[in-house]
Amino acid sequence: MTSPRDGAFLRATRGEAVDHTPVWYMRQAGRSLPEYLKVREGVGMLESCMNPDLVTEITLQPVRRYGVDAAIFFSDIVLPLKAVGVDLDIVPGVGPVVARPVRTLEDVAAIPDLTPGHVRFTTAAIRSLVAELGPTPLIGFAGAPFTVASYLVEGGPSKDHALTKAMMYGAPDVWDALLGKIAGISAAYLRVQVEAGASAVQLFDSWAGALTPDDYRRSVLPHSAAVLAAVAGLGVPRIHFGVGTGSLLPLMAGAGADVVGVDWRTPLASAIPLVGDRAVQGNLDPTLVLAPTEVMTSRAAEIIDAGRTAKGHVFNLGHGVLPSTDPDQLKRLTEFVQGY
């Protein structure tokens, strides 16, 4: 294997034959790794994301330890907002917190569009990473409009997304302006990452499962589709993932990605017929990595078997690696998937 294009990950996203099922994990870098906790000592999350040397090191850590088939760029979905000047922080144990939540058209208009000049540290980090990674592909990512809007409207993490949905139902003009603004920022951020050398991109709509199919189709899908369309011509596969999206999968597939990420609640075998002529990614329950090894690997085997009936299959967890995960167990899972 000489270039990322020939490797199992990119081949699977294109629906080509692979010598093993490729595997990577959402949140494979981060708090489950002692080497991550060590380099992060005394450095804030956003500060880390803006330091190309640290981003390079943290992104490489899980590749070294697990031998996964792809790296995911170490950043956060709110980083581009921070880069254009939105006053926010990522609070340990809480998540993104926004100082002045968005409520009006004026609030939306005050958010600048993203230009490459806002994220020069991203370009620098990706160039250095791609050189270090060699044949291992790098996945760039951005937050989807609904999930990012939820942080901007609620001012922080939310279980029910009540203020966000209240805006969607009650102030459709503000809603469309806000989602259009975020779509533009996410598309520009993805483009920067691909132009710097990322081999694939993933659009994270983690909280889309809070929506009914009708609301998703009317108020959210057009904006996610716009992000995916904006990077369609760049020659890299686009992955579209959300959590709790069992009833949304056909719509999410219709938003135009090449690969549909499936969360752990939906059996992969039932997801495959819902996504059309597309590859799938997923979807072992992250808590199974905390289970006895034989339990974990037997469930992984079922998922790989189901994945063989899809156009292509990239193995992943059905959401991010849990902080309490034992890295040795994730290493065993990786070896099992690659050798199955």
Q: Please give the positions annotated as active site.
A: 27, 31, 40, 76, 151
CA distance 223 to 241: 15
Question: What is the per-residue binding string for ligand CP3 in 13-32, x denoting contact by CB under 6 A?
Answer: -------------xxxxxx-
Total residues in contact with ligand CP3, by rule CB under 6 A:
22
The answer to the question of residue 77 lying near ligand CP3 (CB under 6 A) is: yes
Answer whether 164's CB lies under 8 Å from 150's CB: yes
Instruction: Kindly state whether residue 93 participates in binding ligand CP3, applying the rule CB under 6 A.
Output: yes
Query: Which is closer to ligand CP3, CB of 175 or CB of 241?
Result: 241
Position 34 contacts ligand CP3 (CB under 6 A): no
Residue with smaller CB distance to ligand CP3, 157 or 213: 157
Q: What DSSP line would sit under 247-297, residue for residue?
A: TTHHHHHHTT-SEEE--TTS-HHHHGGGS-S-EEEEEE-GGGGGS-HHHHH
Distance CA 303, CA 284 (A): 7
> CB of 280: closest distance to ligand CP3 in angstroms?
18
Name which of 129 and 311 has its Cβ closer to ligand CP3. Answer: 129
Whose CB is nearest to ligand CP3? 206
Q: Which residues contact 223 (CB under 8 A, 6 or more apart)?
A: 144, 145, 146, 179, 180, 182, 183
Least distance in angstroms from the C-beta of 45 to ligand CP3: 4
Q: Please report, as residue ranges, which positions from 54 to 73 form the binding site for ligand CP3 (by CB under 6 A).
A: 72
Residue 278's φ and ψ, nearest 5 degrees, are -135, 155
Q: Which residue ranges make up the site for ligand CP3 (CB under 6 A)?
A: 26-31, 45, 72, 74, 76-77, 90, 92-93, 95-96, 141, 147, 157, 204, 206, 320
